[in-house]
Amino acid sequence: MTEQSPITQTIRIAVAQLNPTVERGVVEVHGTFQGDVITGTWRYASDAGGARGAVLGGWTVSAITLYHSGDPLDVRVSASNLNTGGGNWPDVTCDPMANAPGTVQQWLDTSCFKDPAQFQFGNYQYSDARGPTVFNTDLSLSKRTRLGKTAALEVRVDVFNVFNRAHFANPNLTFGTAAFGTISNTRLTPREAQIGVKFLF
């Protein structure tokens, strides 16, 4: 799988250009719940002196968490029968998310979709279906040790996607193709860590 950005943004091309009310819907990055970036920092400074103070003091723990509910999905048919030169939506016969498997092999309930009648707009409404959620936490742990009166040594470990969650991208949205409803990309990498050492003077 390839990697995409955590929150995608696409440009929609109107189907019913002479009837904009048909195109009415939420924006691409809309979420039923959008958690702004949540950050937290905890520092511990020990009053103990000597070696004990050097071990116990100077610790800092920081975390950043992002939660974004699934993107609204713009499902289109592979071949339009509108005879307008543009695309079209499919018809839906049931809620494509109600019994959706929610797997990379089949994210949507694809049995809910069918081709619309010739010269008719499909009844699918933008955001009838939604993509996978993003729930990611990055964690940082650092230790600063004083060296004399003015110098210090800082060791820092950063862990991205600390819980190693799989963050999948949106599924294929072209009804009528073999890949419809499948997911082949990820938004974030698996857990990664880096370590750094900094000398301050």
Q: The tokens 């938004």 sit on which residue?
A: 187
Alpha-helical segments (H) within the chain: 50-56
Look at residue 50 in the predicted model and tell me its pLDDT: 64
Per-residue model confidence as pLDDT tens digits over 121-148: 888 987 789 999 999 999 999 988 888 7
Burial of 170 (0-12, 13-18, 19+ CB in 10 A): buried
Q: Is the pTM of this model over 0.75?
A: no
Residues in the chain: 201
Look at residue 9 in the predicted model and tell me its pLDDT: 43
CA distance 146 to 154: 9
Radius of gyration of the chain (CA): 25
Per-residue model confidence as pLDDT tens digits over 69-128: 888 999 999 988 887 777 889 999 999 999 999 999 999 999 999 999 998 888 898 778
184 or 146: which leads in pLDDT = 184
Domain boundaries, given as residue ranges, for the chain: 2-200
Bridge partner residues of 62 (DSSP) = 41, 140
CA distance 24 to 39: 35
Instruction: Provide the sign of the torsion angle of the four alpha carbons 114, 115, 119, 121, taken in this order.
Output: positive
Local confidence band at 184 (pLDDT 50, 70, 90 cut-offs): very high
First-last CA distance in the chain: 45
Local confidence band at 170 (pLDDT 50, 70, 90 cut-offs): very high
CA distance 87 to 175: 11
| Per-residue exposure over 175-201, b if at least 16 CB sit within 10 Å of its own CB, e if not | beeeebbbbeebbbeeeeeeeeeeeee
Look at residue 150 in the predicted model and tell me its pLDDT: 86
Per-residue model confidence as pLDDT tens digits over 11-49: 444 555 555 666 666 665 555 555 556 666 666 665 556
Q: What is the mean pLDDT of residues 150-169?
A: 93
